[in-house]
């Protein structure tokens, strides 16, 4: 529904940097709400798994990647080798490479002092709202301020929720059994569904989902790595096949 409204009535032109910034901060709030339980649970789990409060806060501040932080904290708790931890988190975060490729046409003209922080603050949630802003038809020259507002809001929320998990989370008996982490799964589903606009996207999601289910029992989150790789591969291959077969069909007709 939101996409149809956007296509029928494009957002008003936002000229000033401050307006763009606060509009971005506002637009990401629904996704921030979905991330709140996720951040609190991370703070609780990380310290329960043996990480110090300082190390837990540092991971959120300098890594700032929810899924990878959960995986790394769990692998650290089981004394997994650092090389496997790095490899696993690298594969899980490969999706950010795809996000970056999509954003390059819009931010390539920005100076380096903009590109570096925006790259660091790029998350699934930030990408979901920022790409829609960049694809809107108005001619605003300050859309990177929208990006900054959205990304910074999510970043600050993640730090606060990690801190709450470290402090208040320890006071709640068995908070991890409440199932609050399901909120983040619902948030991710809500972000993915609107982008299933063509066959390669659908194929990628379907393949990744099936592999994730059947490979869930593999140790050290290898099933997640396998699902990510095969999902991306299926999407790339299907897009290539469709792009090469379509012109031939038109030619034969």
166 in the same domain as 99? yes
121 in the same domain as 71? yes
Inter-residue contact 40 to 167 (CB < 8 Å): no
Helix (H, G, I), strand (E, B) or coil at 81: coil
191 in the same domain as 111? yes
Q: What are phi and psi of 198, to 5 degrees?
A: -145, 175
> What's the rounded mean pLDDT across residues 203-229?
83
Instruction: Examine the fold and report which residue of 195, 225, 242 is the final residue of a domain before the chain moves on.
Output: 195
At 105-157, the pLDDT tens digits run: 999 999 999 999 999 999 989 998 999 899 888 888 899 999 999 999 999 99
Indicate the number of domains in the chain: 2
In a domain, residue 5? The reply is no
99 in the same domain as 52? yes
Cα-trace Rg, the chain? 20
Inter-residue contact 227 to 215 (CB < 8 Å): yes
> What's the rounded mean pLDDT across residues 49-68?
91
251 in the same domain as 170? no
In a domain, residue 250? The reply is yes
Most confident of 55-59, 136-140, 174-178, 249-253: 55-59
- Quote the pLDDT of residue 180: 56
- Percent of residues, the chain, with pLDDT higher than 90: 32
Distance (Å, whole) CA 242 – CA 245: 5
145 in the same domain as 26? yes
In a domain, residue 6? The reply is no
Q: Which of 119, 148, 132 is nearest to 17 (CA)?
A: 148
Distance (Å, whole) CA 204 – CA 194: 14
Distance (Å, whole) CA 161 – CA 39: 5
Domain hosting residue 120, numbered range: 16-195
- Quote the pLDDT of residue 7: 43
Distance (Å, whole) CA 130 – CA 122: 10
In a domain, residue 9? The reply is no
204 in the same domain as 136? no
Output the CA–CA distances (angstroms, integers) from residue 238 to 120, 192, 201, 207, 228, in the order listed: 30, 18, 9, 11, 15
244 in the same domain as 229? yes
Distance (Å, whole) CA 189 – CA 207: 15
Distance (Å, whole) CA 163 – CA 44: 9
Instruction: Examine the fold and report which residue of 176, 195, 214 is the final residue of a domain before the chain moves on.
Output: 195
Q: Name, in order, each residue with C-beta under 8 angstroms of 204's C-beta and a sequence gap of 6 or more.
A: 231, 232, 234, 235, 238
135 in the same domain as 210? no
Answer yes or no: is pLDDT of 81 > 90.
Answer: no
In a domain, residue 11? The reply is no
Q: Which two tokens mark 238?
A: 């299907």
Instruction: Examine the fold and report which residue of 164, 195, 226 is the final residue of a domain before the chain moves on.
Output: 195
Q: Which H or E element spans position 88? A: helix 82-92
């Amino acid at each position: 529904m939101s996409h149809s409204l956007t296509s029928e009535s494009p957002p008003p032109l936002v000229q000033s940097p401050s307006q763009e910034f606060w509009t971005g901060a506002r637009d990401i709030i629904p996704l921030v709400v979905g991330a709140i339980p996720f951040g609190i649970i991370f703070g609780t789990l990380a310290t329960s798994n043996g990480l110090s409060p300082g190390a837990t806060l540092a991971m959120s501040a300098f890594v700032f990647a929810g899924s990878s932080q959960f995986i790394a904290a769990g692998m650290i708790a089981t004394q997994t080798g650092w090389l496997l931890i790095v490899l696993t988190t690298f594969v899980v975060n490969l999706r950010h490479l795809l996000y970056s490729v999509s954003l390059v046409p819009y931010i390539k003209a920005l100076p380096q002092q903009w590109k570096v922080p925006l790259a660091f603050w790029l998350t699934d949630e930030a990408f979901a709202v920022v790409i829609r802003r960049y694809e809107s038809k108005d001619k605003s020259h300050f859309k990177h301020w929208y990006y900054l507002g959205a990304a910074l809001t999510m970043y600050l929320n993640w730090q606060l929720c990690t801190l709450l998990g470290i402090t208040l989370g320890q006071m709640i008996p068995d908070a991890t059994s409440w199932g609050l982490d399901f909120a983040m799964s619902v948030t991710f589903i809500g972000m993915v569904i609107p982008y299933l606009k063509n066959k390669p996207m659908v194929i990628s999601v379907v393949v990744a989902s099936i592999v994730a289910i059947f490979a869930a029992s593999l140790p050290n989150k290898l099933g997640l790595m396998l699902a990510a790789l095969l999902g991306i591969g299926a999407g790339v291959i299907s897009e290539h096949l469709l792009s090469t077969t379509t012109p031939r069909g038109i030619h034969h007709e």
